[in-house]
Amino acid sequence: MCRPRPPAALRVPFLARLRVGRKLMLLVLLPVTGMMAFTAFGAVSQWHDAQTLRDFRTATELSFRTTALTDALARERIAAVKARLRPGPATLGERTGAQHATDGALHAALLDTAGWTGPPDVQGRFDARSRQLRALRLQTGTGSLTAPQLAAQYDTIEHDLLELAATLESGRPTRTSGQAADAHIALLNAIEAAERERTELAVLFAAPGAPHPTATDRWSALEKALLDDFGQTAPAGLRGRLYVVLLQHPGLVVRKTRETLADPHAERNAWPTYAGWLTASSRRIDALRVIQHRAAAELGRDATRDLDTARSRETRDLSVSLAVLAAVTVLALALRLSITRPLSEVSAGARALSEGDLSYDIRYAGRDELGAVADTFRELRITTERLAAEISTMNAAIDDNRLGHRADVVAFQGTWAQLLGGMNGTMASFAAAHGRRDKAEQELASIFHLSLDLLCIAGLDGYFKRVNPAFERTLGHSAETLLGRPWLEFVHPEDRARTRAVLDRLASGVELGEFENRLLRDDGTERWLQWSARPVAGEGLIYAAARDVTESRRAAREQTALRRVATLVARGVPPREVFSEVADQVGKVLSSGSAAVLRYGADGTATVLGSARGPTAETDTAATAQEVALTTRPARVGRSVGAPIVVDDRLWGAVVATAAGPEPLPPGTESRLADFTELVATALANADSRDQLSASRARVVAAGDASRRRIEHDLHDGVQQRIVSLQLDLRTAQSMLDEQPEELAEQLDHIAKGLDDAFTDLLQVARGIHPAILSKGGLGPALRALARRSAVPVELDLRLPPGRLPEQTEVAVYYVTSESFTNAAKHARASFVQVTARAGDDVLEVTIADDGVGGADLGHGSGLIGLVDRVEAIGGKLRVESPPGEGTTLTVRLPLPRTES
């Protein structure tokens, strides 16, 4: 195939006659020349910028020296004013030290001005201020100036130095350094305003009798304005530090002082003292100076950073420009050799590509390489057009679902024929995959319709696009209803906000798992569904699967309620609390209108012991209770369901629940009530056992006390009286013998002494059985008598009511105390016992503590066990704390009858 040539009459432009190498060199020389000129101009400009930055940095260093001088001069000013107001060794010494510090700062500033050649005559202004300062010091030494005049002289010098600092920092070559300089100068002037305020108010407070100032707030107003300027230009860290300083204690004192002076009605006794004002103001100014030093450091860093950046940029730009120039020159020479030769080869290769022969040996000889490339791509375009037509035809066949169409491979050669053959194979594979997809879609549709889980496809517009039959069965709505309304309308109103938030997350591309909400059936009942969903943002769809967990949640809620009631039963709470809790939990579990625990009387009437009420049908409830009483089995009447409570094979009562709405309670409610009735029966059995145990214990204690009283009565009326009678008879017999033999007299005396001892012992035994002082005097005198007879020293702290306590309470406390004294002496080897008694409105608390060996245990020894029985028999509690080696403490709490007010 021959290469087409351009027509002979076509005129070739001049540049088209040049070889590509010459064109490339011309193309490179023009920008290289411009780049060289631009580089030279940029270097001069950058040098000038760097010189400006160097001058600004030098000016800032001189400004910092000036600032240090102003700080020292401000301290000298306040020291001179203080020495003038209240002269003394301390203030005069402070003034001398401040003057030395100012001289040092001035000397350092003069040394730094040696190399300065800028427009402000810094050295001359320093010399002038130095002479002015020496003259002022001479006047200060003579005492010819008052404190305000002295401060005014210093103010003039300070003002000139601050203007010099502002002039030095006015260069501001960059925005960053300009802001830092503005912040620094604003803070310097604010500190100077605070210094002048401190001096002026120090004069005012040093002379309390002076008239009230009329313009004391001018410095505070100036300071506030300057601090506001500082806040607008300073970095965030310095602004935050400034706010902290203003809100600290010295700053608050200064603010309060300003407010007091600004109030024309403020009393003079509200003014701060001279020393207090100086201390607070000095601390506040020192804190501001710390911020000023940081601002100066920030300005210095900005100036240095700008200068370093300019220098590095100048060096970098020059180096880059030179490197680019060298690289462009080298690259131009290399391109001249590397482009011209391959260009002819590429044109030949393009022709071979148009013929489909990739093994063609690239050769070409022509007037212009670009012309050859153009000829080659003309032929390539023709071939590409034919190939595009075949591809377009195949795409149309795919769109029309004509999957049997195949491209005409015979009309092409080489690689193009192979390409079309591959496309035909792809079409065949696509046809096979399409058949498999149709089959998979049919299988998926079968699974979609047969699944017991709820499957759906929803759109991000809030409507269902497709639902399976399980959806219709669970919710009771038809598919048309579900697809025709926004699906949030089927969500329970209380769950719509949570569901809308989940939809927002799905819309953002987040997958969802195990989210639960309630949907409403067509009959108004609610069903709990657990969802898993995956969004497809590109299609605007959400694929979701749900599971009905209503029954599992209901079972879990029922088990929770049963556990709560069982816990109350196990703890032994009073039955009335169990009844109330059972009714409440039954109402919640069954979602009924009312629930009640009933007890049947002997006459068949039912009494409500615990209830959880709402809107109920009393007729159905009464009828259900009557039916349970007659059959002793679960019963259902109307909207009410009841289950019997059986204790010891005897019908005790019933639990009745009534539906809130017109619909009856669901089937199976009877068996669910039976679980609660079993717990009620258990609670009643436990309560009965506890009551019987308490009654038995009380009877034992009462019988013991009655036996003690009977023994005491028998001893007093029987044996004790007989011993007294025998003593009288013996004394009578001794008096009837005029002359008694010595042995007989001794024998009679011995018998008389024995009778006396027996009488004393018998009297002590009778008192120990039931002390007479307890019966006559009450608990307080009885405990004091026990303390007097105790072998261990006893300290009593008794706070008992003026009247008598119940007899059982007094006897129990008496015996507990007596047993504790005995244990402390015999077993604990204690050296001290303390008894504390406190009586409240409804409880008596007695504490008995000793310092013995401890180790007492309720599980060993009948004495402590008997005390526990006696205390608990009357409804009390006894607690023993007896760590080994740390003594023993018994605490008794006994109930008292409430007194009527």
pLDDT band at residue 97 using 50, 70 and 90 as cut-offs? very high
- Band of residue 590 on the pLDDT scale cut at 50, 70, 90: low
pLDDT higher at 597 or 759: 597
| Whether the Cβ atoms of residue 786 and residue 825 lie closer than 8 Å to each other | no
* Residue that has been written with the tokens 């093994």 in this structure: 359
Question: Which of 112-126, 171-185, 780-794, 851-865 is least confident?
Answer: 851-865
Q: Where are the alpha helices (DSSP H) in 86-121?
A: 89-112
What is the Cα gyration radius of the chain? 56
* Average pLDDT over the chain, rounded to an integer: 76
In this predicted structure, what is the pLDDT of residue 1?
45
Is residue 690 predicted with pLDDT exceeding 90? no
Beta strands in 417-472 (DSSP E): 454-459, 464-467
What percentage of the chain has pLDDT greater than the value 90? 3
Instruction: Give me the pLDDT at residue 845, please.
Output: 92
Taking residues 276-285, what's their average pLDDT? Answer: 84
What would the pLDDT profile of 223-269 be if each residue is shown by its tens digit?
Answer: 777 788 777 888 888 888 888 888 888 888 888 887 777 777 767 67
Confidence of residue 901 (pLDDT cuts 50, 70, 90): very low
Residue 786 near residue 821 (C-beta atoms within 8 A): yes
Is residue 37 over pLDDT 80?
no
57-84: per-residue pLDDT in tens? 787 888 888 888 888 888 888 888 888 8
pLDDT value at position 862?
A: 47
Q: How confident is the model at residue 850 (pLDDT cuts 50, 70, 90)?
A: very high
In this prediction, residues 542-566 reach a mean pLDDT of 75
Looking at the DSSP bridge assignments, the partners of residue 513 are 532
Residue 769 has pLDDT above 60, yes or no: no
pLDDT at 719 over 70: no
- CA dist., res. 228 & res. 230, Å (int): 5
Least confident segment among 88-92, 108-112, 133-137, 756-760: 756-760
* Across 766-794, average pLDDT: 76
The model's confidence at residue 8, banded by pLDDT at 50, 70 and 90, is very low
Task: Give me the mean pLDDT over the 376-395 stretch.
Answer: 70
Among 93-97, 377-381, 703-707, the minimum mean pLDDT is found in 703-707
Q: What is the DSSP string of 555-619?
A: HHHHHHHHHHHHHHHHHT--HHHHHHHHHHHHHHHHT-SEEEEEEE-TTS-EEEEEEE-SS--HH
The pLDDT of residue 403 is above 90: no
Q: What is the pLDDT of residue 899?
A: 58
Contact 162, 189 (CB under 8 A): yes
